[in-house]
A and B are shown apart, each in its own frame.
Chain A
Amino acid sequence: MKSITRQKPFEEIRQQLDSFNRVFIIGCGTCATMTKTGGIEQVMEMKSQLQGVDKLVSGWTVIPIACDEMSEVAMKENDRAIQNSNCALIMSCALGVHKISTYIDLPVIPALDTLFIGVEDTPGYFREVCAQCGQCIIGETAGICPITACHKGLVNGPCGGTNNGKCEVDKEKDCAWTLIYERLKAQKRLDLMRKYQPPHNFQASPRPRTVKIS
């Protein structure tokens, strides 16, 4: 499981940093390193890009796991440079941005857009397979999630847009319902596709979602 991110356009980052001169950059050694959006290389690149627009980079660090408790320690270690900055530019997913914001008093600015939680199919190719809806039905859809893999999140079979097994929004994307159909057919479980799925419970766990394990 990886949190998949994409760097924001530099112009957007620059605008967000408009009123801050001294910038502390924080990368993440886990997902954002894997997706090449917040590893050491990208942090270095960001540093020189910021310097190119006359920002002062007051320091930088790449935390092993930005969304982990241990980030607090990393922040303490960099306390002096952080105290000396106007803001922290964070090159991790939003989970990391959030976590770090609880450990420092500086304004936090995300440099990345958090896209989805995905799996790596082939090296460098990440795909969203679960949207964490809170009411899992993939036992009846051959392990393929229609909420995620179907553009419209349809749970009762394909729309009229299936085009030779591809989705109407993108000729490169498989129609989720063609995939589900083929797998269920191979498993001789097509009767599952005939089953009526009632309206989804979008409040299975009302937002903001929390869980307490005792």
Chain B
Amino acid sequence: MASRFKDVLNSGKFVITSEVAPPKGTNLEKVLHHIELLKDKVDAINVTDHQSSVMRFPSIGGCLAIKEKGGEPILQMTCRDRNRLALQAELLFASSRGINNVLCLTGDAVPVGDHKEAKGVFDLDSLQLLKTIRLMESGQDLGGNDLDGAVEFCAGATVTPGAQPLEPQLIKFEKKVEAGAEFFQTQGIYDLDNFGKFMEHARKFPVKILAGIILLSSARMAKYMTQNVPGIFVPQNLIDELTAVPKEEMLNRGIEIAGRMIAALKKDSICDGVHIMAIGKEEVVPDILAAAGL
């Protein structure tokens, strides 16, 4: 089964993806509402996989819900919680249910999450997972056995354009391209000049790059991210801009900033699209799109 998202990627249009987070529990009301809200406004919706190593309803469950509602899901798969048997099994299941897009991630470390004593698996890494997908498409599994019914995926990966040091990250980026990544959703970016430099390099490769846009919901959050989230740097002028408005206006200003960045990326065709992460504020993604003039 071909991926609708892949067609969009290849259409040359400015691609928009966003993401939803499954709940901790069986109450799906909120995530279903977010899916409803986003499914016709974006080209595909990522479903996070125990993001930040916090145990939640599974990504594949969220993807099925998107599928049922007629949306286009991107299955996020980390290597933290499953060995190669479980990862391959999940790919078979996803494929059989028409979930045709996968984002291959290493996964956050176990100790940052809420099950701090759990065993981190990391039997495969994100690169090996990409290769596994390509292998399974050829009708084989990692054990060298034939599959009765192969899979077909549009496979993606992530890259952190603001990583320090950058070169090891770029080397891994290239290895991911070689391993078969077709698209990249980047870690959140705020410094467009820096991102432009990364894009000059990335443009040399036959892959689509969707810039990660993380909504800044307050000045405090912006400062926190700059100080604590690896590879994220919010320039001081954006922090000042948020600080200058009254507290209740901050979210709106954040929406405006995100919209402005998306518009700038699109106008100068700096990258192939954006991946919007609203982190708990999925409600306002349509407002971000409106602010971007989309």
Contact = CB atoms under 8 A, between A and B. Distances in A.
B7 to A, nearest CB: 28
B235 interface: no
B230 A198 contact: no
A159 B167 CA distance: 13
Given A152-B80, A152-B107, A164-B164, 20 more contacts: A156-B125, A156-B126, A156-B127, A158-B168, A159-B106, A160-B169, A161-B230, A162-B165, A162-B230, A162-B231, A163-B231, A165-B164, A165-B165, A168-B109, A169-B112, A190-B171, A196-B131, A196-B175, A199-B84, A202-B123
Interface in B158-184: 158-160, 163-165, 167-169, 171-172, 174-175, 178-179
B86 to A, nearest CB: 14
B122 A153 contact: yes
B230 A168 contact: yes
Contact of A181 (B123, B131, B158, B165): B165
Contacts of B169: 157-158, 160, 162
A178 interface: yes
B142 interface: yes
B124 interface: yes
A181 B168 contact: yes
A200 B171 CA distance: 20
Nearest to B173: A157
A152 B179 CA distance: 20
Contact of A196 (B112, B124, B158, B178): B178
Contacts of B126: 156, 159
B206 interface: no
Contact of A194 (B84, B124, B175, B230): B175
Q: What 3 A-B pairs have minimum CB-CB distances, sorted nearest first?
A: A157-B172, A163-B230, A181-B168
Interface residues of A, number: 29
A155 B158 CA distance: 17
Contacts of B168: 157-158, 162, 177-178, 181, 193
Interface of A: 151-165, 168-169, 177-178, 181, 185, 190, 193-194, 196, 198-200, 202
B137 interface: no
Interface in B175-208: 175, 178-179, 187
Q: A interface, by DSSP: helix, strand, loop or mixed?
A: loop
Contacts of B231: 160, 162-163
A195 to B, nearest CB: 9
Contact of A169 (B107, B109, B122, B178): B109
Contacts of A202: 123
A154 B171 contact: no
A193 B127 CA distance: 13
A160 B171 contact: no
30 contacts: A151-B109, A151-B120, A152-B106, A154-B106, A156-B125, A156-B126, A156-B172, A157-B171, A158-B163, A158-B168, A159-B106, A159-B126, A160-B163, A160-B187, A160-B230, A161-B109, A162-B160, A162-B231, A163-B230, A168-B109, A169-B109, A169-B111, A169-B112, A178-B168, A181-B171, A185-B167, A193-B171, A196-B127, A199-B142, A202-B123
A145 to B, nearest CB: 15
Contacts of B243: none
Nearest to A202: B123
A155 B127 CA distance: 10
A194 B168 CA distance: 9
A154 B174 contact: no
B162 to A, nearest CB: 10
Contacts of B178: 196
